[in-house]
Each structure stands twice: as C-alpha cells, then as structure tokens.
Structure 1
Amino acid sequence: MKVMIVEDEVLLAMELESEVEIAGHEVTGIAMSSSQAREKIGASRPDFAFVDIHLKDGPTGIEVGRELAAAGIPYVFVSGNIKKIPEDFAGAVGAIEKPYTMNGMKNALAYVSAIVAGDDPGLPPVSLVLANASAGAEPASCKADPHYKYGLGGRS
C-alpha cells in the first residue's frame, strides 16, 4: 500500500515513516503543510494517508483531509486534540490520538490496510477512534467499499 504522511513534526513523521515501511508499505512522501500535501496527492496518488490537523501553515489538516476524501483516498487523522475534528470527520476513516504507541499505530495501520485491500478487517483496534455514523458521518472514502462494515458508530 502506498502511504502519504501529512505531519509537521519531523521526528514524528520520520518515526511513522519507519513504522509504515517496517509493516511492508511504501511511503510516497511526507508533507509538512497543506500546499506540500496537495502537491504530493497529485504527484503520487497514495492509497492511504495519515493526516495531522495542525500543520506548518496552521490548522489546515482538515482541509487536506477533505481533499483526500474527495479524491477517494482513505485517511486517518493523527492529532493531539481529536476534539478539533469536525462531527463529520471530514471524510476520515477515523483518528488516532497523540501521543500514540507504536503498537497502537501498527494495529491501526493493519486494520486500515485490510479495508483498503478489500479484506475483512475484523474488530477495530482500541488505538483507532472511528468516525461516528450516528452523527451522519460515513467516511466518504469507504462508502463504495462493501467490506467496510465495521466500526461506524462504535465498536462492532
């Protein structure tokens, strides 16, 4: 799976890049601002993205997320304050709250990888807060995926 990382904290981005590669995936790029993210979305067409809410150019990660969702690219927010995520989750599959553990990130990546591959992901890991269907927020990137039946509105 091709993964894009949108994160302005260099050490966190590098650590996440390492974990993604150890899990057998390819990192197509790291973006630290919304403009860098837009360039990388167009240039590399990732299969999935991790997106921080607050980037170098401000709280623009939500805009980046909406663009990913519009392009049909599933993504997960990675943020120190997931309360800043809109009720509709801006089309995200879910969110991982910072600080996160590498094991939690690895489990979330495995879950999302199964969704992207069209496989049954099983139960979502506790590290992944899923979009809430009761708020009318079905992730746009998963609407067409018949396997995406887990997690909307809580644990299944």
Structure 2
Amino acid sequence: MRILLVEDEILIAMEQRFYLEAIGDDVFGPAATTTEAVEMALAIKPDLALVDIHLAQGNSGLDVADSLGALGIPSLFITSFREEVKPGRSFTIGCLPKPFTERSLLGAVEVARAVLSGRPPGRVPETMELFEPPPLSRAGVPPSV
C-alpha cells in the first residue's frame, strides 16, 4: 500500500515509516503542512494518508483530510487531539490516538486496508475509533462490508 505521512513531528514520522516499511508498505513524506500534503498526494497518488491534526505553521490536519478526500484519497487520523475529530467527514476511516504502539499502528492500517478493499475490518485496535459508515471507495462506490 502507498501511504502518505502527514506529520510535523519528525521522530513520530520516522517511527511510523519504520513500522510500515517493515511490513512492505511504500511510505512517503512526511508532509508538515496542507500545501505539502496536497502537492505530495498529487505527485504520488497514495492509497491512504495518515494525518495528524495539529501541523506546522498552524495548519490543520482536518483541512488536509478534506483536501485529500476531494482527490479521492482516504485518511486515517493519528493524533493526540482525538476530541477535535468528528466522524462523518468524507473519506476518513477513523482515528488512532497518540501515543500509539507498533501493534496499534499496524492494526489500524490493516483495518483501513480492509475497509478500502471492501472487506470487514476484522480486529480493530482497542484505542482506535472506526468511523461509520465507512468512507466511499476511491471509485466513489461504497465498499461492501
């Protein structure tokens, strides 16, 4: 899976990259602002974006998720500010709060992978909130869960 990291904390982005590349995902970024995220998304066309809420220069991950959703790119929020995320945003799968563990991050990405492929999500990490209904697929058709 091609995953875009939208994160302004370099150590957190490095941790995410390490875990995801170890299981074979192609990881891009990190993008630290809305502009960087959109430019990178247009260039690499990721399958999924992992998006923090508070980004560099006062940018908001909520705006990033909206911009990426308009491009058909789904987002999974990874944030310490869970209370700022409201379910129901187009093309958002859920939220995994920080701090995360390797197991919870990989589990959340596996849930996203399942939802995006139209499969039942299986075991959702305890700390993850899966948004309902699931987001539209990239083709604009609701996945069959």
State yes or no: 1:144 paired with 2:144: no
| Cα distance between partner residues in 1 of 2:50 and 2:109 | 10
Cross-structure match for 1:65: 65
Gaps of 5+ in 2: none
Q: CA deviation at 1:102?
A: 1.3
Structure 1 pair 146/140, CA: closer, same or farther in 2 (3 Å)? closer
Matched letter for residue 38 of structure 1: V
Q: Which moved more, 1:44-53 or 1:59-68?
A: 59-68
Residue-pair matches, total: 144
Map Cα deviations across residues 80-108 of structure 1 (whole Å, 9 max, x no partner). Answer: 01111134345411001011111111111
SS at match of 1:57: helix
Return the TM-score normalized by structure 1.
0.82
| Cα distance between partner residues in 2 of 1:108 and 1:60 | 21
Identity of matched residues, % = 33
Q: Give the CA RMSD over aligned residues.
A: 2.0
SS at match of 2:58: coil
Structure 1 pair 125/144, CA: closer, same or farther in 2 (3 Å)? farther
Return the TM-score normalized by structure 2.
0.87
| Cα distance between partner residues in 2 of 1:86 and 1:114 | 22
Q: CA deviation at 1:132?
A: 4.3
SS at match of 1:49: strand
Q: CA deviation at 1:141?
A: 4.8
Q: Which moved more, 1:85-94 or 1:55-64?
A: 85-94
- Do 1:105 and 1:127's aligned partners in 2 also have CA atoms closer than 8 Å? no
State yes or no: 1:121 paired with 2:121: yes
Map Cα deviations across residues 55-82 of structure 1 (whole Å, 9 max, x no partner). Answer: 0022411011011111111110111011
Structure 1 pair 116/132, CA: closer, same or farther in 2 (3 Å)? closer
SS at match of 2:56: coil
Structure 1 pair 59/82, CA: closer, same or farther in 2 (3 Å)? farther
Report 1:55-94 matches (<5 A): 55-89=55-89, 91-94=91-94
